[in-house]
């Protein structure tokens, strides 16, 4: 089971990097078939810290620091609130919210692939805040921030590098909250080195693929997968 989990995590990291939605939109619902949501949230946050570090190293020359602060500050503040809420709520509701989010997100962006918010500070702050809150609450929110960042018409390497820099503050903050509340137990510590390797390997292969593929067609396939995963997660949460 450990190797199956590792393979799934690696694929999530690669697809998330290439698709631009981030690995958590796949990793959180799929990891939910191995662990309960709180454990998944803890593992996801730790995995993302490693993943962000890998992307910052690989894309360090392509970070837009102005956008990093503009999106990063509200994202980091909001993720603390979202992470705190999930520590005091029923796990089942979190799984249901996650599945509804994935289904709604995939349908909307499939039929509105060119949707972006106007590129202004207000939308950047709002989009960053919502993305951070959702990341803390249900484990994934980078796709929302991606829709806000897309309005700034960033070259894809700048987009990935800047997004990773923003996420570092978000994921490090929620990791502390999750760990302090026991989301990851001693029995899960052997998984951490696997996530470290997966994060760096997935980011590397994702970067290589990103240089060779058209994101337009790839995103349609990715959105279809998100819809399927969301539907399965919805059935699982109400079963």
**Cα–Cα distance, 51 to 175 (Å, whole number):** 13
Residue 50 confidence (pLDDT): 87
With a cut of 50, list the residues of the chain below it in pLDDT: none
- Nearest CA to 74 among 37, 124, 128? 128
157-212 pLDDT tens trace: 788 888 888 888 899 999 999 999 989 888 888 888 998 898 889 888 887 887 77
pLDDT value of position 31:
87
Rounded to a whole number, what is the largest CA-CA distance in the chain?
47
- What is d(CA 130, CA 202) in angstroms, rounded to the nearest whole number? 26
Domain spans, the chain: 2-238
């Amino acid at each position: 089971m450990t190797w199956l989990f590792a393979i799934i995590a690696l694929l999530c990291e690669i697809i998330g990097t290439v698709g631009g939605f981030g690995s958590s939109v796949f990793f959180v619902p799929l990891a939910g078939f191995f662990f309960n949501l709180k454990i998944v949230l803890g593992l996801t946050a730790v995995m993302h810290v490693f993943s962000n570090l890998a992307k910052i190293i690989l894309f360090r020359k392509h970070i837009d620091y102005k956008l990093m602060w503009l999106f990063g500050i509200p994202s980091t503040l909001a993720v603390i609130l979202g992470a705190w809420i999930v520590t005091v709520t029923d796990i089942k509701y979190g799984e249901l919210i996650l599945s509804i989010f994935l289904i709604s997100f995939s349908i909307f962006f499939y039929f509105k692939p060119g949707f972006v918010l106007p590129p202004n500070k207000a939308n950047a702050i709002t989009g960053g805040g919502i993305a951070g809150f959702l990341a803390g609450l249900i484990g994934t929110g980078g796709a929302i921030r991606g829709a806000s960042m897309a309005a700034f018409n960033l070259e894809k390497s700048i987009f990935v590098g800047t997004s990773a820099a923003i996420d570092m503050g978000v994921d490090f903050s929620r990791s502390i909250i999750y760990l302090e509340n026991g989301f990851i137990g001693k029995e899960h510590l052997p998984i951490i080195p696997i996530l470290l390797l997966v994060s760096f390997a997935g980011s590397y292969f994702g970067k290589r693929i990103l240089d060779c593929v058209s994101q337009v067609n790839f995103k349609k396939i990715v959105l279809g997968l998100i819809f399927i995963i969301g539907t399965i997660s919805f059935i699982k949460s109400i079963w």
